[in-house]
Amino acid sequence: MDSKLLCPKSNYTCQSFNKYFDSEVQVALNTYVSNNCQIGKFSKVGTHSSIERSTIGKKCVIGKNVKITNCYIWNNVEIQDNCVIKDCIIADNVVVKKNVTIDSGSVLSFGVHVKEGAHITAGTMASRYTFNTDTLVFEEVKKFNNDLFDIGLISYLPRECQLKEDELLGATNIYEREDESDLEDNDDDLEEENDKLAFFNETKKTLERCYKNQFPISNAIMEMKSLKMTYNMEY
């Protein structure tokens, strides 16, 4: 089956069960590619590797004995031999050197280079940029000195970036109020109380309508069960 049937401009060919290879893809004969995978144009995968439920972009080079599971690999990415990568996003032009392990939930941003033998722990975000709290902008780092990256460092999304524009002026004072926490927000409790009140009001109206029109009790029960599911009530 050729994907041109659905999209004439596409060069992807369906190998089997949602497994698509673009043109000029090279996969070693003893390499395993599972269903639900896509590999982009000019990408190469070395011997004794496995790719499961992942998307590989264009012009990627994947070495020998590499295991990739549940990942989104963008374009022009190089992953060298004996790497294990799971549940990750790797952006364009990233280089992952030999014997690297990248755990679930990690994100490597554009152009990051991971050192040989590094272990990237779960949830790590790495970037070539750092946030300047004085100017409130991201700046590219010129020198890197850490155990994980030749190019790149551990990054995060600063609290300032999550604020509305009219709140940025007071952003520098956010961290001084240690007695406050985002977890102390009562919005969830208020929403739950509102749902309960709405559920009881709708139930009352249902019973009154059924009594007034002399509907069978089974109709009332069925409608109340529907309301219970709609408002996610446990009683």
Report pLDDT digits (tens) over 74-83: 999 999 999 9
Band the pLDDT of 13: cuts 50, 70, 90: confident
Shared-domain flag, residues 140 and 189: no
Q: CB under 8 Å to 232, separation ≥6 — which residues?
A: 195
Structure tokens at 211: 């009594």
The dihedral region occupied by 160, where left means phi > 0, alpha psi between -120 and 50, and beta the remainder, is: alpha
Q: Do the domain assignments include residue 49?
A: yes
89 pLDDT above the threshold of 70: yes
**Average pLDDT value for the chain:** 79
The dihedral region occupied by 176, where left means phi > 0, alpha psi between -120 and 50, and beta the remainder, is: alpha
- Given 130, 147, 162, the domain boundary residue is 162
Q: Do the domain assignments include residue 179?
A: no
pLDDT at 6: 44
CB 154 within 8 A of CB 125: yes
Would you call 125 helix, strand, or coil by DSSP?
A: strand
CB 134 within 8 A of CB 152: no
Q: How many domains does the chain have?
A: 2
- Among 3-7, 84-88, 185-189, 227-231, name the one with the lowest average pLDDT: 3-7
CB 79 within 8 A of CB 66: yes
Q: Do the domain assignments include residue 203?
A: yes
Give the integer Cα–Cα distance in Å for 43 and 22. 9
Model pLDDT for residues 125-171, shown as the tens digit of each residue: 899 888 777 777 778 888 887 889 999 988 765 554 554 444 544 44
Q: Tell me the whole-structure pTM to 2 decimals.
A: 0.64
Nearest to 127 by CA among 116, 145, 113: 113
pLDDT at 137: 77
Q: CB under 8 Å to 204, separation ≥6 — which residues?
A: none
Q: What is the mean pLDDT of residues 171-176?
A: 46
Q: What is the mean pLDDT of residues 177-197?
A: 61
Shared-domain flag, residues 128 and 39: yes
Band the pLDDT of 202: cuts 50, 70, 90: confident
pLDDT at 145: 74
| Residue 67 main-chain phi, psi, to 5 deg | -120, 120
Q: Do the domain assignments include residue 169?
A: no
Nearest to 158 by CA among 139, 141, 179, 143: 139
Would you call 164 helix, strand, or coil by DSSP?
A: coil
The β-bridge partners of 214 are none
Shared-domain flag, residues 9 and 59: yes
Host domain of residue 117: 3-162
Shared-domain flag, residues 83 and 129: yes
CA 34 to chain centre: 20
Give the integer Cα–Cα distance in Å for 100 and 80. 9
Structure tokens at 104: 């679930």
pLDDT at 189: 67
Q: What is the DSSP letter of 141?
A: -
Q: Do the domain assignments include residue 170?
A: no
